[in-house]
């Protein structure tokens, strides 16, 4: 690998790409999957038969929306803050129910993608026009620093889709600690978590036969080509997922099929790949009740209640501060 001193990084994306591709082993953060094309691909992934996570959590929210609403409800009303809102398909189940019940609430969807927030706001205006929506663009870390400012009434923080699984164990504890620090005693945190299950079911979820998940991972290289003036050849990389049932960790890689050199002009960077060298792109941790309880306690939270689907593939946990 050859590199000269790069110019000042213009974006966080540029800095993370530089650091990730000059480290060993190489890595790229999954948080950068979500440009406009990545958003479209992930919408397709959520509709795949192999990708059970979305359907199972949707089933939980439909089946238990009454009970969940009762847990959220407050005399003074509440602010509903969703981290990583995406297209809001699952959350709309709750939003419609809250609107029907005439709950006094404001919905604050948070996402790193401005494109996603604009689409979500437009769809809500059409589908549930009565609710108050206040989009928040930014990373989780950026938004967490603002959450403590919402203290005039009860706030409910949503974190659906098992996004906690994209964090390492220590990152998950740090994240949950940040959530806890932003909460008052009356606040609640509602989180979706994928559960440990048959290893093949999990592996298939990240290795669909139609190849959309592979395209989703490779789109990160397309984004580097476009935004950082690089020359990645997508056909020279293959997508390779793994799942370890002992640790509950699923990982995704892009694997170089040959020895090659990639130029990233905006970073003054020349990246050398050996044949079969990897770029680690994603982690997806699977949990059970014991490991979630431990994580929560480490962060100063406790489980109030949980709901699951019929097959017990997925769970939504409700937390409060210790």
Q: What is the mean pLDDT of the chain?
A: 93
Instruction: Taking the CA atoms of 112, 27, 218 and 89 in sequence, report the sign of the dihedral they define.
Output: negative
Q: Report whether pLDDT(55) > 80.
A: yes
Cα–Cα distance, 177 to 299 (Å, whole number): 4
Q: How far apart are CA 244 and CA 226, in angstroms?
A: 34
The pLDDT score that the predictor gives to residue 75 is 85
CA distance 257 to 265: 22
Residue 149, classed as helix, strand or coil, is coil
Q: Looking at residue 206, what is its pLDDT? A: 96
1 pLDDT above the threshold of 80: no
Q: What is the mean pLDDT of residues 166-174?
A: 93
Mean pLDDT of 155-164: 95
- How far is 13 from 84, CA to CA, in rounded Å? 18
The helix/strand count (H/E) of the chain reads as: 10, 15
Secondary structure (DSSP) of 228-272 = HTB---GGGEEEEEEEETTTTEEEEEEEESS-EEEEEGGGTEEEE
Bridge partners, residue 111, by sequence: 137
Reading the block at residue 162, the tokens are 């098992």
What's residue 3's pLDDT?
52
- Residue 145: phi and psi, rounded to 5, are -65, -20
Q: Could you report the per-residue pLDDT of 281-295, keeping only the tens digit for each? A: 999 999 999 999 999
Host H or E run for residue 7? none
Give me 280's structure tokens.
């680690």
Give which of 285, 214, 282, 278 is closest to 23, Cα–Cα: 278
In this structure, what token pair is assigned to residue 298? Answer: 């480490």
Could you tell me if 201 and 52 are in contact, meaning their C-beta atoms sit under 8 angstroms apart?
Answer: yes
Distance CA 272, CA 269 (A): 10
**Rounded to whole angstroms, how far apart are CA atoms 86 and 148?**
23
Rounded to whole angstroms, the Cα distance separating 33 from 166 reads 12
Task: Using a pLDDT cut of 70, give the percent of the chain over it.
Answer: 98
Nearest partner of 23 among 40, 43, 38, 3, judged by Cα? 3
pTM score: 0.87
In the predicted model, is pLDDT for residue 212 greater than 80? Answer: yes
CB atoms within 10 A of CB 54: 22
Structure tokens at 69: 């609403």
Whose tokens are 């050398």? That residue is 272
- DSSP, collapsed to helix, strand or coil, labels residue 89 as helix
pLDDT at 241: 97
Question: pLDDT band for position 144 (50/70/90)?
Answer: confident
Q: What is the pLDDT of residues 88-138, one digit of tens each?
A: 999 999 999 999 999 999 999 998 888 889 999 999 999 999 899 999 888
In this predicted structure, the answer to whether residue 2 has a pLDDT above a threshold of 60 is no
Taking the C-alpha atoms of residue 257 and residue 275, their distance in angstroms, rounded to an integer, is 6
Domains of the chain: 2-33+201-285 (no CATH), 52-195+289-321 (3.40.50.150)
């Amino acid at each position: 690998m050859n590199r000269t001193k790069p110019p000042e990084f213009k974006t966080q994306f540029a800095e993370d790409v530089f650091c990730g591709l000059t480290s060993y082993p190489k890595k790229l953060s999954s948080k950068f999957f979500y440009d406009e094309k990545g958003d479209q691909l992930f919408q397709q992934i959520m509709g795949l038969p192999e990708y059970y996570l979305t359907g199972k959590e949707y089933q939980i929210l439909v089946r238990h929306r009454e009970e969940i609403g009762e847990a959220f409800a407050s005399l003074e009303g509440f602010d509903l803050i969703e981290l990583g809102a995406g297209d809001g398909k699952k959350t709309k189940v709750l939003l419609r129910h809250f609107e029907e019940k005439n709950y006094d609430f404001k919905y604050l969807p948070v996402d790193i993608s401005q494109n996603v927030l604009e689409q979500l706001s437009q769809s809500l205006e059409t589908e549930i026009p009565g609710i108050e929506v206040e989009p928040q663009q930014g990373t989780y870390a950026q938004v967490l620093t603002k959450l403590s400012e919402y203290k005039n009434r009860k706030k409910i923080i949503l974190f659906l889709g098992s996004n906690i699984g994209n964090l390492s164990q220590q990152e998950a504890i740090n994240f949950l600690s940040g959530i806890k620090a932003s909460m008052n005693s009356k606040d609640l945190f509602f989180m979706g978590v994928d559960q440990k299950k048959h290893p093949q079911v999990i592996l298939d979820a990240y290795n669909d036969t139609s190849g959309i998940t592979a395209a989703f991972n490779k789109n990160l290289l397309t984004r580097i080509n476009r935004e950082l003036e690089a020359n990645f050849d997508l056909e020279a990389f293959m997508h390779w997922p793994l799942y370890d049932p002992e640790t509950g960790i699923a990982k995704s890689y892009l694997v170089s099929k040959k020895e090659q050199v990639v130029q990233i002009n905006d970073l003054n960077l020349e990246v050398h790949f050996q044949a079969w060298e990897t770029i680690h792109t994603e982690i997806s941790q699977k949990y059970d009740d014991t490991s979630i309880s431990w994580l929560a306690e480490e962060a100063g939270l406790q489980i109030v209640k949980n709901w699951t689907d019929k097959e017990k593939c997925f769970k939504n946990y409700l937390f409060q501060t210790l």
